[in-house]
Amino acid sequence: MPSPERGTPPQVADQSARTPVLSAQGLVKHYGQVVAMDGADFDLFPGEILAVIGDNGAGKSTLIKALSGAVIPDSGQIFLNGEAINFRSPLDARRYGIETVHQSLAVAPALNIVDNMFLGREIRRPGPLGSVFRMLDKKKMLADATVYMQDLKFRIQSMQQAVETLSGGQRQGVAVARAAAFARNVIILDEPTAALGVKESGMVLELIQKVRDRGLPVILISHNMPHVFEIADRIHIHRMGKRTAIVRPQAYSMSDVVAIMTGALEVNKQSN
Amino acid sequence: MTTTGPMSTASRRFISFLAAPAVSPLIALVIAVIIFATQSDRFLTGRNFSLIVQQVMVVGTLAIGQTLIILTAGIDLSNGLISALGGVVMTKLAVASGVNPVLAILIGILVCTAFGAVNGLLITRLNLPPFIVTLGTLNIAFALVRIYSTQSITGLPDVQTSLGETFLLGTTAISYGSILMFILYLITWYMLQNTAFGRHIYAVGNDPEAARLTGIPVNRVLLTVYTLAGATYGIGALMLIARTGVGDPQAGQDANLESITAVVLGGTSLFGGRGNVMGTLLGVLIVGVFRNGLQLTGVPSIYQVLITGILVILAVAIDQLSRKARA
């Protein structure tokens, strides 16, 4: 049986890249009697797509919530670029450059793409027009949003069309582009292809790879094994409240990974 | 993409055209104006239009606050009686208690604003549905009005009726209150279109959870909207006492439904997040034009009620169909 590696960075030549962008050690979270995290570790390295998988109830979503500031762990420590950090809210995590694309996408369907891109962080006109009359700088927001979309080579008829007129994949694309535009450190994608058809999924997976190629590390939460194997650089397998293994998709078959996830396949514990 | 259901692409397009901001109400208004203009030569005059605007300015002002609230997917049943309370407070303080009339006006507006804030606090802090909260404050405001004064307050100081006074534009007398109403519409339109707060109102009405996730302080937006709406009810109160020349404890009892009617006629969706305050202005004018036009053509006024009812159902139907066309 091949032994999965633990905590090894992906194939990046640069030595400085060995510091994880985002990491966690020994996270614990109890909900009454229920142990949602039981000493969970986590490492995300620069320039990688890290898939986080786990069976329902494995505590994967609690881990992700802790990393995005939505849950405050009882104990354990989170590190951003090697520095210990404590998030008190999702807005806090966002201030540290960690953007999350929720499964619900968090878009306002009747507002257009530009409005949605800048929702909650609108840009105002310079001078008194902005400070006294609170006037939005619609031109700048349109120009910036267009650049964000072009950066990801994501094509859309018009940036001024309401988000509700877009297909599911395009909406996901808008949400990803928004997160990529504002994330300085990490982008977290929660089940980005769950509601999409084959073609649209392909488009979104491509988009995620472009985000990674532009230098932003991606955490991908997904139940879809083919998608995980298609784009992940490493796979973090979560089981019973903690990381049970990290594997490379090239070295394992999908059925092996599922077996590790469900506990059917034991993994040799290795020291770091 | 295949079409789902019985709706064809052409009818979908037609419905989304009708549902576009202010298109349907504008068509309805233009048709009404053309019909009445051919039926009565007194209809299409500056004097008559000035009169129509004066007749609708109170409900028109209350409808501004109502629009903001409905855009957040809320509703306000209490606006008319909050406004009546404001009117009685302004006039009684000035006439019976000898308070400086301008100060009395400010206190009246403040009372209305505070009532709006109470609506907002109950809705955001206790998480109660706006319909129930404002049904409660409607009764509270009604009782407070009667407790404070059972009689009409007359003999108002001039400054309290100044919004009812007119100036001449050419040969047409225009009231200051009408101008104030149009200015309020312009300010609100600017706020909705050109400020972040305006975008946030739409986002909250669209999907409060999504708004929260994007970092919008949803409760603060709601509280601000209900408080601002309260302020518009205070200004509506000032217009009412100026127009009628009395502080009337019986006033405002139909204003809630009239303002909701105007908002709906104006194409703002009762589901929140879609619509525009300029549509509401058109909705207000539609009601005013029908009332006035039917009067001039000698049709019994009950037909105005009938037509309003039909238009409301049409407006809601267009909204509902366009939601289906989008889905």
ipTM above 0.90 for this complex:
no
Q: What is the mean pLDDT of residues B269-280?
A: 93
Nearest chain B residue to A164 by CA distance is: B326
* Number of CB atoms found within 10 A of residue B190's CB: 15
Chain B neighbors of A90, CB-CB under 8 A = 213
Enclosing domain of residue B101 = 19-322
Q: What is the DSSP letter of B2?
A: P
Q: Is B209 on the interface with A (CB under 8 A)?
A: yes
Inter-residue contact A144 to B247 (CB < 8 Å) = no
Nearest to B202 among A91, A111, A120 (CB): A111
Alpha-carbon span A180 to B194, nearest angstrom: 25
Asked whether residue B13 is assigned to any structural domain, the reply reads no
Nearest chain A residue to B21 by CA distance is: A110
- A108:B326 CB<8 A: no
Asked whether residue B247 is assigned to any structural domain, the reply reads yes
Alpha-carbon span B31 to B149, nearest angstrom: 44
Q: Give chain A's largest Cα–Cα span.
A: 69
Tell me phi and psi for residue A24, to 5 degrees.
Answer: -145, 145
Q: Are strands A218-221 and A49-54 parallel, antiparallel or unpaired?
A: parallel
Alpha-carbon span B238 to A181, nearest angstrom: 49
Asked whether residue B26 is assigned to any structural domain, the reply reads yes
Residue by residue, pLDDT tens for chain A (272 residues) are: 444 444 444 444 444 457 999 999 999 999 999 999 999 999 999 999 999 999 988 889 899 999 999 899 999 999 999 999 999 988 899 999 999 998 888 899 999 999 999 999 999 999 999 999 999 999 999 999 999 888 888 888 889 999 998 988 899 999 999 999 999 999 999 999 988 889 889 999 999 999 999 899 999 999 999 999 999 999 999 999 999 999 999 999 999 999 999 888 876 544 33
CATH value at residue B101:
1.10.3470
Nearest to A110 among B196, B206, B209 (CB): B206
Nearest chain B residue to A115 by CA distance is: B199
Alpha-carbon span A220 to B216, nearest angstrom: 25
Asked whether residue B1 is assigned to any structural domain, the reply reads no
Q: What is the DSSP letter of B272?
A: S
Q: Is B2 on the interface with A (CB under 8 A)?
A: no
Q: What is the pLDDT of residue B206?
A: 95
Nearest chain B residue to A107 by CA distance is: B210
Rounded to a whole number of angstroms, the distance from the CA of A259 to the nearest CA of chain B is 35
What domains are there in chain A, each with its CATH number?
A: 32-107+167-262 (3.40.50.300)
Asked whether residue B245 is assigned to any structural domain, the reply reads yes
pLDDT band at residue B19 under the 50/70/90 scheme: low
Could you read off the pLDDT of B163-187 as tens digits, one per residue? 999 999 888 899 999 999 999 999 9
Alpha-carbon span B257 to B251, nearest angstrom: 14
Comparison of pLDDT for B20 and B113, the residue scoring more: B113
How many structural domains comprise chain B? Answer: 1
Tokens 């001024």 sit on residue: A160
- In chain B, positions 84-123, which contact chain A (CB-CB < 8 Å)? none
Alpha-carbon span B327 to B320, nearest angstrom: 11
